[in-house]
């Protein structure tokens, strides 16, 4: 049965609003403007850093995703940079490695000053015409401080000893903060939080790479990289 009621006067207004939002019609379809589509900043991975009782543990998963396909299950996204400094990255591999090389250079320029080196990297990343297009987010930590560094010029220090980046970071961050009051080490807290994130995030797996920074760790005393574990 076809309704004979006149169309609502609100419909033409709604149609105009939709046209204004998605752009001009083409062959009966509305094409969304590129600037109306929100940019996705969360990369398909999870990196978490937990600082507790003078110990620091950073864990990253090993999954590499291309579109909807898993390309590799055991990539190494957490690395050790020189004396007592660990770093984890989320983003395109080439971009991340390029930024980590530059961070190593800054650490050589400002030895023992991770905050200063990170600020200088963020300034260069923000202002350089080439670097500003690199899509990545870094977490770096040493015995004294843990920082998140982004291409927007942000250098963020955690207020509670927990930092996380990547698509599974909301799950890992919430889990780690809930576990912080418990009688667990930094490594145990980070591992449990990562397992929760891997169970919930499709871009994260249970193949972890773990690095720790211990009190008083100096150059030449760095532990060997921990193997990936299932």
45, 137, 189, 204: the catalytic one is 45
Q: Compute CA distances 140 → 57, 97, 150, 159, 164, whole Å.
A: 11, 13, 11, 15, 11
Q: What SS3 state is found at 180?
A: coil
Does the annotation mark 150 as catalytic?
A: no
Contact 209, 64 (CB under 8 A): no
What is the C-alpha to C-alpha distance for residues 188 and 185, in angstroms, rounded to an integer? 5
DSSP letters of 98-127? HHHHHHHHHHHHSTT-HHHHHHHHHHHHHH
Copy the structure tokens of residue 169.
């970071």
Q: At 72, which helix (H) or strand (E)?
A: strand 69-72
The set of catalytic residues is: 45
């Amino acid at each position: 049965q076809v309704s004979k009621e006149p169309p609502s006067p609100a419909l033409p207004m709604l149609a105009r609003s939709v046209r204004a939002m998605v752009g001009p019609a083409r062959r009966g379809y509305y094409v969304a403007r590129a600037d109306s589509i929100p940019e996705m900043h969360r990369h398909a991975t999870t990196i978490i850093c937990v600082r507790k009782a003078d110990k620091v543990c950073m864990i990253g998963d090993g999954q590499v995703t291309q579109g909807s396909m898993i390309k590799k299950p055991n990539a190494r996204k957490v690395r050790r940079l020189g004396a007592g400094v660990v770093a984890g990255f989320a983003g395109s591999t080439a971009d991340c490695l390029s930024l980590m090389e530059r961070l190593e250079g800054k650490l050589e320029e400002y030895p023992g000053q991770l905050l200063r080196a990170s600020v200088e990297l963020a300034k260069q990343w923000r202002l350089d015409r080439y670097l500003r297009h690199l899509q990545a987010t870094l977490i770096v930590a040493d015995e004294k401080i843990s920082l998140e560094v982004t291409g927007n010029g942000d250098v963020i220090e955690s207020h509670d000893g927990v930092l996380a980046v990547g698509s599974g970071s909301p799950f890992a961050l919430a889990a780690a903060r809930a576990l912080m009051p418990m009688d667990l080490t930094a490594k145990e807290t980070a591992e449990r939080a990562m397992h929760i994130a891997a169970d919930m995030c499709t871009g994260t797996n249970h193949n972890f790479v773990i690095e720790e920074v211990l009190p008083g760790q100096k150059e030449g005393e760095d532990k060997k990289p921990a193997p990936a574990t299932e």
